[in-house]
A and B are shown apart, each in its own frame.
Chain A
């Protein structure tokens, strides 16, 4: 697929032109809303920035809708748990949009401990003509009021405001890694390392624990939950992935506590590839249902796998993301890169899947044609409307001119978070503190 790049470099700080970025600006999550009109990003500093797509104008048809900043707000602040003497990071781990039901937009954002529901609404009119105060807001001297008038709504410059509507706190002992809104639009789940909690969007002082894998004796702990998601159509079904490389599908109708799965997806380990780091690279970092609800996609350190919900003993498809790193696991362990949690994403029609890699590379796999492509998100390669050139990593032997060798890869530049427009071929890719938005080429 050819891509036209319409680069949006978003950097809130004045360090835009420098090579380093403040840590607070590092983007930690990206998410399109269900219509694709809005794109939300969360960062390590606890801020949420929402972009809105411009209406396509007839006068400039070649300028397809670009994304501009719509709203920015501070979602989470750093906190301190005095009881445990622990600092709670303000980093936004996940953002999930609620489908739009009225003029306002709603999203859930979470850090390690607390989930918040935000309402983003527009204000483009304001009342004018008050009796007791003038238009600047100053109180009028009552003795100067000689007649009464009715205030009238007058148009004003558009103002977008974000207000916190709900705060769901004190339900997680461990670090929240994911949230997922149910298709019933009334409930959602929040997941930490050992537990999954079910919330009603209206009720903040109560949640139901539906999965608990904490062992009676913590010494016997062998796996943790790494991600969980509701089925896109079945409101009683959800799946959660574990650090051991398995996925469990649960049905909430069976029992109040869903410790017993109804399906268990795991591929047996290949003993010939066993190494010191086998457990680490088999840990699943992301799980996503396909839009049609028939497949599951999982991402572990080196591969992306597509599972058929009807087949539990092995995945339907396995794609190698960066298998050339298999021989470098030791150094990746030393510099902590082996713990990076990459996300994966489906396109709108479930025919293409995408995930990130190092050196600001990201990979797309076409499930039908079995073709794959490696692209790079970088300023040098991304002039507006430039077409992205496929990249290739040379794994050994003679390096061709445009190839990059494994040893030249920059492991500090990683693409962990990506998202795909629900209907169109528009993707958003977060590279450290920069956001890149790519669209399909228009002829």
Chain B
């Protein structure tokens, strides 16, 4: 159990600081110091463990929504008129409304929502026309937040796909530092466990939030997805997560370079069917291996 409260910097900033240290050590006089880089990699591993744990908790909550939303979507499709109306602008409003809300709100709402699919259908369809302020009251309708989170957030689009059935984000491309082999991995989900990617998307101006889901589907089914494409796709703002990140966004270009360098260490693969914890530990081990590999390579 790592005490994360000991300093202002959180796991993500520690990860980026550690990456910068490793990067700078390459140009230091006297060659790379093995001892120092080993210690930095331990900090990296610890920070990543904490970060991944937080992410898993969030994903678990998201998955709860997704199941609810599956039902909601199916119900919505029965009412196409409601879906098309009050489209772009309101979606942006709804997205903005979600901004700044803790995911835990959605999480708690999710459980309640799961029991009332029919009610949600109506609420979801009415959602586009509502602004959160109009609802009044201190506690906005939980189903509203849940819905708007899911609607507004394009990033867990991967998680939404299983509902759709036919489209999966199942292709990712990984660059191996040692062998310089580019491999494309299938049957997994692109998972947003890369904090740096998240930083990028928060830092960059988001693409038009009016983009509909159909386009997002299109993105995910495209072949030959490079790591850099992945990061640019992340630019579609997952704004409710912006509150998590306190990174200095001016470092994002350096960080994106480092992502491509340490590609296999950061791009996590997540299978819906597999046990999340198992994958987590494998990824952590694989990523630590990537560090030492990268260090020794120089």
- Quick one: which of A223, A275, A279, A283 contacts B3, CB cutoff 8 A? A275
A374-407 CB contacts (< 8 Å) to partner B: none
- Quick one: which of A219, A224, A327, A329 contacts B34, CB cutoff 8 A? A224
Asked if A257 lies at the interface with its beta carbon under 8 angstroms from chain B, I say no
CA distance A277 to B42 in the complex (A): 8
Q: How many A-B residue pairs have CB under 8 A?
A: 91
Pair A280/B42 contact, Cβ less than 8 Å: yes
Q: Contacts of B42 on A, CB cut-off 8 Å?
A: 279-280
Pair B35/A330 contact, Cβ less than 8 Å: no
Q: Contacts of A218 on B, CB cut-off 8 Å?
A: 292-293, 296
Query: What 4 A-B pairs have minimum CB-CB distances, sorted nearest first?
Result: A330-B7, A279-B42, A89-B30, A86-B31
Q: How far is the CB of B52 from chain A (nearest CB, A)?
A: 14
Pair B39/A175 contact, Cβ less than 8 Å: no
- Quick one: which of A86, A221, A274 contacts B38, CB cutoff 8 A? A221
Pair B35/A243 contact, Cβ less than 8 Å: yes
Pair A193/B34 contact, Cβ less than 8 Å: yes
Pair B292/A277 contact, Cβ less than 8 Å: no
CA distance A271 to B42 in the complex (A): 16
Q: Contacts of A280 on B, CB cut-off 8 Å?
A: 39, 42-43
A318-360 CB contacts (< 8 Å) to partner B: 327-331, 333-334, 336, 339
Q: How far is the CB of A247 from chain B (nearest CB, A)?
A: 16
Beyond A84-B31, A221-B38, A279-B39, whether A274 also contacts B1 by CB under 8 A is yes
The residue in chain B whose Cβ has the minimal distance to the Cβ of A88 is B30
Pair B46/A276 contact, Cβ less than 8 Å: yes
Kindly state the interface size class of chain B when it binds its partner: 20 to 34
Interface size on A, residues (CB 8 A): 39
A16-57 CB contacts (< 8 Å) to partner B: none
CA distance A224 to B295 in the complex (A): 14
- Quick one: which of A221, A226, A243, A276 contacts B43, CB cutoff 8 A? A276
CA distance A218 to B288 in the complex (A): 11
Q: Contacts of B14 on A, CB cut-off 8 Å?
A: 276, 330, 333
Q: How far is the CB of B121 from chain A (nearest CB, A)?
A: 45
Q: Contacts of A223 on B, CB cut-off 8 Å?
A: 38
Asked if B180 lies at the interface with its beta carbon under 8 angstroms from chain A, I say no
Pair B289/A330 contact, Cβ less than 8 Å: no
B31-50 CB contacts (< 8 Å) to partner A: 31, 33-36, 38-39, 42-43, 46-47, 50
Asked if A112 lies at the interface with its beta carbon under 8 angstroms from chain B, I say yes
Beyond A87-B29, A218-B292, whether A330 also contacts B9 by CB under 8 A is yes
Q: How far is the CB of A172 from chain B (nearest CB, A)?
A: 12
Asked if A208 lies at the interface with its beta carbon under 8 angstroms from chain B, I say no
CA distance A336 to B7 in the complex (A): 16
Q: Contacts of B289 on A, CB cut-off 8 Å?
A: 219
The residue in chain B whose Cβ has the minimal distance to the Cβ of A274 is B2
Pair A224/B30 contact, Cβ less than 8 Å: no
CA distance A243 to B41 in the complex (A): 13
Beyond A221-B38, A221-B292, A279-B43, whether A327 also contacts B6 by CB under 8 A is yes
Pair A283/B39 contact, Cβ less than 8 Å: yes
Pair B2/A89 contact, Cβ less than 8 Å: no
Pair A276/B30 contact, Cβ less than 8 Å: no
Asked if A174 lies at the interface with its beta carbon under 8 angstroms from chain B, I say yes
Q: Contacts of A336 on B, CB cut-off 8 Å?
A: 21
User: Please, could you name 14 A-B residue pairs with CB atoms under 8 Å apart, sorted by A?
Assistant: A84-B31, A86-B30, A175-B33, A218-B296, A219-B289, A220-B292, A221-B292, A276-B2, A276-B46, A276-B50, A277-B43, A277-B46, A278-B46, A279-B43
Q: How far is the CB of B194 from chain A (nearest CB, A)?
A: 19
Asked if B258 lies at the interface with its beta carbon under 8 angstroms from chain A, I say no
Q: Contacts of B3 on A, CB cut-off 8 Å?
A: 274-275
A251-277 CB contacts (< 8 Å) to partner B: 271, 274-277
B1-33 CB contacts (< 8 Å) to partner A: 1-4, 6-9, 11, 14, 17, 21, 29-31, 33
